[in-house]
Amino acid sequence: MKISSDQMKLRYDTQGFLTEISVLDKEELEDAKRAFEKLEEEFGKEYTQYNLHNIHLEHEWVMNLAAHPLLLQTMTAILGPNVILLDSRFICKYPSSEVPHADNIAPYVAWHQDIKYWGFEGGPVASVWLALDEVNTENGVLQIIPESHKQGILEHQIAVISGNMLTSNQEIPRHLVDAEKAVECPLKAGQMSIHDGLTVHASESNMSNRRRCGFVIRYVPTTAYPVEDPERPRTFPATVLVSGMDELQHFADLAPSFFTKMF
């Protein structure tokens, strides 16, 4: 059942996430998967599992995913009409038969909040997971703690268990995570989930024989602005205005020449 933009925003603001939103049709999905498989062939799967960072500036098909009209319809409902693409990354969990795990430890993502290491103020960040493959419990589905975005920024520490895929190897201490309230966000290929930057989330290892690949994209309203904070050191070298107007210009618009804004 389709819900209105107002209902969508209310649900997002209340729960801290949305899921099972259809974005790519069958042809778009197949085109994206073929293009990604070319990158796998070029760079190797060990590299593509986490190192394809901000390549929306280099590849038109990636930029088109990040600015897909159905995706931006949802994003503007949540963040308002003026939206900046802050950052993007492909994240793939491969079966161990395709990418051997270091020290026989299967990669996972620890409990964390996206905003913990992102140096900006003035607005929220919304994180999209756009699934290129079907995602379920077996291959490491996203897990979210509903309403956890209302707690503010929580303490993070260096992860205790090896294999954490996060760049800063961060995790929220287990005593601060109400894991019993966690819900899974399974997706069909071509669907997306969205969560607030304060929403506590994680994902287990891929224990299947199938790839689990998704395109992670972060968006902020144009009211957001970068700050220098040693506790939140992330810089923003790939920002693109994807919707509306940016009268404040806190971030540079680094849109590649092949990108034409639709919203």
Question: Does residue 250 fall inside a structural domain?
Answer: no
Question: Does residue 184 fall inside a structural domain?
Answer: yes
Looking at residue 117, its pLDDT comes to: 84
Full-model pTM? 0.94
Question: Does residue 88 fall inside a structural domain?
Answer: yes
- What percent of the chain is predicted at pLDDT more than 70? 99
Contact 129, 65 (CB under 8 A): no
The rounded distance, in Å, linking the Cα atoms of 165 and 131 is 18
Query: CB 101: neighbour CB atoms within 10 A?
Result: 15
Looking at residue 106, its pLDDT comes to: 86
Total number of domains in the chain: 1
Residue 224 is part of which domain span?
5-243
Looking at residue 247, its pLDDT comes to: 96
The rounded distance, in Å, linking the Cα atoms of 150 and 15 is 9
The rounded distance, in Å, linking the Cα atoms of 132 and 134 is 7
Question: Does residue 249 fall inside a structural domain?
Answer: no
pLDDT digits (tens, 9 = 90+) for 185-227: 999 999 999 999 999 999 999 999 999 999 999 999 999 999 9
111: domain CATH number is: 2.60.120.620
pLDDT digits (tens, 9 = 90+) for 6-16: 999 999 999 99
Each as own residue / partner, the long-range contacts of residues 226-230 (CB below 8 Å, 24 or more positions apart, any chain) are 226/119, 226/120, 226/250, 226/251, 227/119, 227/120, 227/121, 228/119, 229/119
pLDDT tier, 1 (very low <50, low <70, confident <90, very high otherwise): low
pLDDT digits (tens, 9 = 90+) for 92-133: 999 988 888 777 788 899 999 999 888 899 999 999 999 999
Question: Does residue 259 fall inside a structural domain?
Answer: no
Question: Does residue 148 fall inside a structural domain?
Answer: yes
Question: Does residue 19 fall inside a structural domain?
Answer: yes
Looking at residue 241, its pLDDT comes to: 98
Whole-number average pLDDT of the chain: 94
